[in-house]
Amino acid sequence: MKILIAYFTMGGRTKKTAEAIASALATHEVSFFPIEITGKFIEKIKLLDQFEKKDFSKIETELNTLHAASYDLIMVGMPTYGNFPPKAFDEILARMENLSGKKAIVFNTARFTGGKALEYMKTKVEEAGAEVIDQRKFRKVLWIGTKNANKFGKQLNERLE
Ligand SMILES: Cc1cc2nc3c(=O)[nH]c(=O)nc-3n(C[C@H](O)[C@H](O)[C@H](O)COP(=O)(O)O)c2cc1C
């Protein structure tokens, strides 16, 4: 299967999780579409603030390269911000346009909660026309390892044809 993993990360936890899932998808062709906020703390906060106001002008070039059409499975991974995914999630979905006939998986990372945000993601992806075949929450208060993500990836690798 051709799989696209689109994710957003500010602290690296969702990136680490996405990469651990991907490393276990050994018999599939995996590509990433990352939105990564990096730099000094204050710069990160400023950019996140712009994104939360739905201003994605700083990553317009990258967003224009986002095409879902050639993939069989779309995976979307997000952190949890106040019980919702960041606004980048909605933007990614809007850019992917119609996902009819595609399979999808949503996952998120969280420190305390995350269930409500994951349900929101699932609903929105379904509204975009995809069939959500799995969903997973990776919740750790402190250090987030790769064990659970790797296990999830291995299960998917066997299950997907
Ligand atoms: C502004 C902000 C809001 C957050 N809100 C929540 C929350 O409501 N529930 C939760 O469990 N974790 C919350 N977190 C923790 C993040 O969801 C968690 O650390 C996530 O794994 C970060 O992913 P990242 O390292 O890829 O950016 C919040 C973090 C930030 C920075």
Q: Is the CB of 32 under 6 A from ligand 1?
A: no
Domains and CATH numbers, the chain: 2-159 (3.40.50.360)
Helix (H) or strand (E) holding 116: helix 115-127
Q: Is the CB of 48 under 6 A from ligand 1?
A: no
Name which residue sits closest to atom 31 of ligand 1, judged by CA: 81
How confident is the model at residue 59, as a pLDDT?
98
146's tokens: 């790769």
How confident is the model at residue 98, as a pLDDT?
83
Residue 54 CB-half CA count within 13 A = 3
Q: Which segments in the chain show pLDDT lower than 70?
A: none
How confident is the model at residue 118, as a pLDDT?
98
How confident is the model at residue 161, as a pLDDT?
80
Classify each residue of 49-82 as buried b or exposed e, where b means 16 or more C-beta atoms within 10 Å of its C-beta. Answer: eebeeeebeebeeebeebebeebebbbbbbbbbe
How confident is the model at residue 3, as a pLDDT?
98
Q: Tell me the CA–centroid distance for residue 80 and ligand 1, in Å.
A: 5
How confident is the model at residue 27, as a pLDDT?
96
